[in-house]
Amino acid sequence: MPELPEVEIICLGLREKILGDIILGAEHITKLKLRQEVPINISKKITNAKIVAIERRAKYIQIFLSNNLVILIHLGMSGKLLIKDSSYILQKHDHFVVKFNDKWLVFNDPRRFGLITLIEENNLKKHPIFAKLGMEPFDAKFTPKYLEGVFKNKQPIKLALMDNYKLVGVGNIYASESLFFSKISPTRASNSLEKKELIALHYNIKKILENSIKLGGSSLKDYAKVSGEKGYFQNFFYVYGREGKDCRNCGAKIIKIKQAGRASFYCADCQK
């Protein structure tokens, strides 16, 4: 499902809808296991707390509560967070509901690669999930130089880009797209990039993520905003999902290959 832009859009939507609201109750609907077990007492612990902040880190959504707890949510491949009014009837794959005065926050995830858990705010940065995460693309410290430092082995650049210990938020779509605009083949060794290529890649990662956020993210199958509305950035893909179609730059056919079990798309004429 979602990469950085999609998670960012979800956070924006959540802020608009539930920031400052008091949690009246919560319900753990299914007993099915997600990426981790949902903590047994989560509903009780979050009830009566106020939502004081909502922040994204990597592809995680952090909902900060007034009682110094943080609801941590990851959407996996197929997760959705939707705001529904309190007359909402539960659907298949609804796993967790947070109830407010006049609305519900519903976590739905068919494939159950997602995560919902509770962490103490003081332990957030030390928590195993966050301890080793790499740089945020919109952090001022994210520079071409940083990329150079992190691309120190001969791993294919596409895989290095998707490595969350190096750089967070870039997944399968935006890795392919940012390499296209940087004219770099996804198979290139990450430590073979020239300075001007690192500069281009750094620029294009930020640019593409920004553009996608402006268009509400990319909606392929599952992803939707908290309102249920779709994003539009998928209409502006240059390579992702365009196997066999003409390169929008040179007209050559877009190629699909597999890297570490994931599809990569690129133009062999434009990307070297």
Q: How far is the CB of 66 from DNA (least distance, A)?
A: 27
By the rule CB under 7 A, 56 interacts with DNA: no
Candidates 63-71, 82-90, 139-147, 254-262 — which segment interacts with DNA by CB under 7 A?
254-262
Query: Which position among 56, 59, 183, 188 bears the catalytic label?
Result: 59
Nearer to DNA, 117 or 204 (CB): 117
Degrees to nearest 5, angle at CA 205 with 3 and 270: 115
From the list 43, 108, 117, 219, which residue makes contact with DNA (rule: CB under 7 A)? Answer: 219
Instruction: Give the number of other Cβ atoms within 10 Å of residue 99's Cβ.
Output: 17
From the list 11, 82, 116, 171, which residue makes contact with DNA (rule: CB under 7 A)? Answer: 171
Nearer to DNA, 111 or 145 (CB): 111
Catalytic residue check, 59: yes
Pairing of strands 262-266, 255-259: antiparallel
By the rule CB under 7 A, 103 interacts with DNA: no
Residue carrying the six token digits 């494939």: 111
By the rule CB under 7 A, 222 interacts with DNA: yes
Measured between alpha carbons, how far is residue 139 from residues 28, 85, 135, 146 in Å? 35, 36, 7, 11
- Amino acid found at 69: L
Q: How far is the CB of 138 from DNA (least distance, A)?
A: 16
Residues 6+ apart with CB under 8 A from 178: 161, 170, 201, 204, 205, 208
By the rule CB under 7 A, 33 interacts with DNA: yes
By the rule CB under 7 A, 113 interacts with DNA: yes
From CA 242, how far away is CA 253, in angstroms rounded?
9
**Residues forming beta bridges with residue 117, ordered by sequence position:** 72
Residues 201 and 178 sit within 8 Å (Cβ to Cβ): yes
By the rule CB under 7 A, 9 interacts with DNA: no
Residue carrying the six token digits 């050559």: 252
- Count residues contacting DNA (CB under 7 A)? 38
Nearer to DNA, 8 or 222 (CB): 222
Helices 4-18 and 195-214 sit at what angle, rounded to 10 degrees? 40
Token pair for residue 53? 């902040």
Instruction: Give the number of other Cβ atoms within 10 Å of residue 253's Cβ.
Output: 14
Catalytic residue check, 3: yes
By the rule CB under 7 A, 59 interacts with DNA: yes
Nearer to DNA, 5 or 42 (CB): 5
For binding to DNA (CB under 7 A), which residues are involved? 1-3, 6, 33, 35, 58-59, 74, 76-78, 92-93, 110-113, 129, 153-155, 159, 162, 164, 171-173, 218-223, 260-263
Residues with catalytic roles: 2-3, 59, 262
